[in-house]
Chains A and B, each alone.
Chain A
Amino acid sequence: MEVNSYRPVDHCFDEMMRTRTAPRAAYQKVREWLAAADPASLDLRRREAEILFMRIGVTFAVYGEGGDPERIIPFDIIPRVINGREWDLIARGLEQRVRALNQFLVDVYSKCEILHAGVIDTDLVLRNPAFLPEMNGFTPAGGVFTHVAGIDMVRVGEDEFYVLEDNARTPSGVSYMLEDREIMMRLFPDLMAAHKVAPVEHYPTELLTTLKSVAPSSGGADPTVVVLTPGMYNSAYYEHTYLADRMGVELVEGQDLFVDENRVYMRTTRGPQQVDVIYRRIDDDFLDPLTFNPNSTLGVAGLIGAVRAGHVTLANAPGAGVCDDKSVYIHVPEMIEFYLGEKPILKNVPTYRCGREADRAYVLDHLDELVVKEVRGSGGYGMLVGPHATKAEQAAFAERIKADPDEYIAQPTLALSTSPTFVDQGIAPRHIDLRPFVLMGAKGVSIVPGGLTRVALREGSLVVNSSQGGGTKDTWVLLEEPC
């Protein structure tokens, strides 16, 4: 299929086409480029990109599958383009949302004002498995819990952006955002030169600045930052090495660190060196066997004591997960109003809680049109996309909901926007989402323009997760519309 015969999917917002035949201004030049390129050369470039990803070593482990555990995430050579006006709206919405999420965390681990005010149900927060009682009474340096937040968004209309999910624990994917850009610059320098694309390559510098800004005062003018990884068997290990390398800091595992006098030290060839900020990519439960999972060997014994004593900063702060829990998600608009006194800029998807009887009855009656998710699931595992499921799959899911209603939420199936994607049949519309990465330090919020665009490569599919066969695209925020 050539670009001239590209047709948007009915009832879906298409990022490239304003009407069936007229392109949107931001995609003008991309479309011209696609029209001029012959499919064989595009295919050649796609294979080149694959080889580059393999050579660099950008791979991704997929859980629960046989076969090659290390494989590359498919990369689509057609960029996703966002114009400056759209990005301004998204960026303002993201900053507002992350500020509210962060304030919520500061609040529920100290004064609990939003609970006392009755805005959010006390039990929903304090009895939530993602709430860490061990962090109560603790406010991290600079009042920052969510140093790095990945906010999963989708678009359904010209100015209609929905947040599907907040990721405030250890969101991953930013290395793909950076590598996708590098590959695009290598493969299509002319196309890039024809556009004014906002740069993203300063992300590691911004991240390091953010991390240093929340160092304890004992860290002095040049605090020591490390990246803490669970190790090479983690699916995002490549990203851990990548970020440590780009920031110019040490990549460490738990066994490389130890606690002495409530301070954290790294073993080096020149003796112990005190660590001020730990960008940890280990889940809360494994951080410290003295406070959390006693069987964990990935963490550092005594770490939480050092954190509470104020001698080291963990990013993100432990316990941040309670703000991105899917049952708490429902209340983010209320958080924005409560803490900031503002109207939410980005929309929340209406969400049914299966634990509520009326909601559950509705969900069970409308399984064929809803998306059902596990409250604590992630990665696109354990979900039902009603419109795409067979009757048997729906019936099986109904039984799971009935057996454990509190564990499920449901949302209407959104018509995710589509973007032109180079697939086996040629150039065709495929559904996409966007995960921007929002950094928050002691001096405020910063967002590298764009983020990671994920694309559901299967025709009609709405599941973009890489673990479910999704791919990625380079995401361009245009500083100027092409003329």
Chain B
Amino acid sequence: MDISIHHTTRYSYATPATHTVQHLRLTARDNAGQRIARWRVIGNGRDDLPVHTDAFGNIVRTLTMSDPHHELVVEVVGEVRTEDHAGILKGVDETMPAAMFSRTTALTAADNAIRDLATPIAPAVTKDAVDAAHQLMNRVRDAVAYVTGETDSDTTAAAALAAGAGVCQDHAHVMITAARLLGFPARYVSGYLAGEEVGEIYEASHAWAELFIDGLGWVGFDAANRVCPNERYVRIGCGLDYRGAAPIIGIRRGAGAESLTVEVAAMPMGEQNQSQDRRDLSERPNSS
């Protein structure tokens, strides 16, 4: 599938900010399931922002503003050709032993409820790890309804499960936490989810989980949608949790109230690019 992505994030400040530093983890790289045809990250009009690679292999661009500013705009424009690999990630230069992804983090600390969610699947893990992972994905989705506005980017896996509601970020966190309890190294993945038909637009900055399964390697599980990533998914970056893979993380000085608009359009391309939809969303990854 050929996917076009247009993602704009616009911060407006009531009074000017004096200094801003943002890390942008918004750059997709090639893997066996996706070929990047075109990709630009534009921060306040610049597409040559300084770049480094972080510990998880994510490409990070740094946007700094040292003069007073009322507005900040981050834009991503990309075209990607994807293939369905049944969620199995190949062609990525892994920088860390999978075992490192068994660490817990503040956002992915287990509590009794997450243990209760994971425990019944334990016997299945040794029999058929892939089947166990699918069972876990469905249990997570059964336990956490898709509801926007109930959680935010600081919500822990335990809190989301207790609320029984959340968005894709929360499904990914609960999945990761439970998977680690079952012995799977697991990580958080950020990316985009395109619509199903040509021209069909999803306003979807998305997130899912990857579990390390012996013999297969890293395999994606999108608990929010109960599927393994297919040709509709564009993978951007990964981390131990949301914080490690956050598409935009920053700090600013000065500035009063902030208002934020995010427009995301990820859609399959036909012969011609289609025009874009505009919607106001929260800055959080969202899912269908």
Chain A interfacial positions (CB closer than 8 Å to B): 112, 115, 122-123, 126-127, 133-138, 258-262, 289-290, 294, 301-302, 305, 308-309
Chain B proximity of A154: nearest CB distance (Å)? 34
Q: Are B23 and A127 in contact (CB under 8 A)?
A: no
In the complex, what distance in Å separates the CA atom of A112 from the CA atom of B99? Answer: 11
Q: Are A305 and B103 in contact (CB under 8 A)?
A: no
Q: Are B50 and A136 in contact (CB under 8 A)?
A: no
Write out, one digit per residue, whether chain B residues 120-136 have a CB within 8 A of any chain A CB (1) or not (0): 00000000000000000
Residues of chain B in range 197-254 having any CB-CB distance to chain A below 8 Å: 240, 243-244, 249-251
Q: Specify which chain A residues have a CB less than 8 angstroms from the CB of B244 in the assembled complex.
A: 133-134
Q: Are A137 and B57 in contact (CB under 8 A)?
A: yes
Is B102 close to A, CB under 8 A? Answer: yes
Q: Are A305 and B99 in contact (CB under 8 A)?
A: no
Residues of chain B in range 173-189 having any CB-CB distance to chain A below 8 Å: none
Inter-chain pairs besides A134-B54, A136-B96, 9 sampled, C-beta below 8 Å:
A122-B97, A123-B99, A126-B102, A136-B55, A136-B100, A259-B64, A262-B50, A302-B23, A305-B54
Q: Specify which chain B residues have a CB less than 8 angstroms from the CB of A127 in the assembled complex.
A: 99-100, 102-103
Contact status of A261 and B50, CB under 8 A, knowing A133-B55, A136-B100: yes
Is B62 close to A, CB under 8 A? Answer: yes
In the complex, what distance in Å separates the CA atom of A135 from the CA atom of B56? Answer: 9
Chain B proximity of A186: nearest CB distance (Å)? 47
Q: Specify which chain A residues have a CB less than 8 angstroms from the CB of B50 in the assembled complex.
A: 261-262, 309
Leading 6 A-B pairs by shortest Cβ distance: A136-B55, A262-B50, A309-B52, A302-B21, A301-B251, A301-B21
Select one of B64, B103, B240 contacting A261, CB under 8 A. Answer: B64
Is B66 close to A, CB under 8 A? Answer: yes
Contact status of A112 and B97, CB under 8 A, knowing A137-B53, A262-B62: yes
Is B158 close to A, CB under 8 A? Answer: no
Interface size on B, residues (CB 8 A): 28
Is B95 close to A, CB under 8 A? Answer: yes
Contact status of A122 and B66, CB under 8 A, knowing A136-B56, A301-B251: no
Chain B proximity of A375: nearest CB distance (Å)? 16
Is B60 close to A, CB under 8 A? Answer: yes
Is B40 close to A, CB under 8 A? Answer: no
Contact status of A302 and B96, CB under 8 A, knowing A126-B103, A137-B57: no
- Pairs A–B under 8 Å by Cβ, sample size 25: A112-B97, A123-B99, A123-B102, A126-B102, A127-B99, A133-B55, A133-B100, A133-B103, A134-B244, A136-B55, A136-B96, A137-B95, A258-B21, A259-B62, A262-B52, A290-B249, A290-B250, A294-B243, A301-B250, A301-B251, A302-B64, A305-B23, A305-B60, A309-B50, A309-B51
Q: Specify which chain B residues have a CB less than 8 angstroms from the CB of A261 in the assembled complex.
A: 50, 62, 64
Name the residue on A nearest B100 (C-beta).
A126
Q: Specify which chain A residues have a CB less than 8 angstroms from the CB of B139 in the assembled complex.
A: none
Chain A proximity of B15: nearest CB distance (Å)? 20
Q: Specify which chain B residues have a CB less than 8 angstroms from the CB of A260 in the assembled complex.
A: 64, 66
Name the residue on A nearest B65 (C-beta).
A260
Q: Specify which chain A residues have a CB less than 8 angstroms from the CB of B62 in the assembled complex.
A: 259, 261-262, 302, 305
Name the residue on B nearest A319 (C-beta).
B55
Is B29 close to A, CB under 8 A? Answer: no
Select one of B55, B57, B97 contacting A135, CB under 8 A. Answer: B55
Q: Specify which chain A residues have a CB less than 8 angstroms from the CB of B60 in the assembled complex.
A: 305
Is B19 close to A, CB under 8 A? Answer: yes
Name the residue on A nearest B246 (C-beta).
A290
Q: Specify which chain B residues have a CB less than 8 angstroms from the CB of A134 in the assembled complex.
A: 54-55, 244
In the complex, what distance in Å separates the CA atom of A120 from the CA atom of B52? Answer: 31
Q: Are B103 and A308 in contact (CB under 8 A)?
A: no
Q: Specify which chain A residues have a CB less than 8 angstroms from the CB of B99 in the assembled complex.
A: 122-123, 126-127
Chain A proximity of B57: nearest CB distance (Å)? 7
Q: Specify which chain A residues have a CB less than 8 angstroms from the CB of B250 in the assembled complex.
A: 290, 301
Q: Are A290 and B102 in contact (CB under 8 A)?
A: no
In the complex, what distance in Å separates the CA atom of A374 from the CA atom of B130? Answer: 40
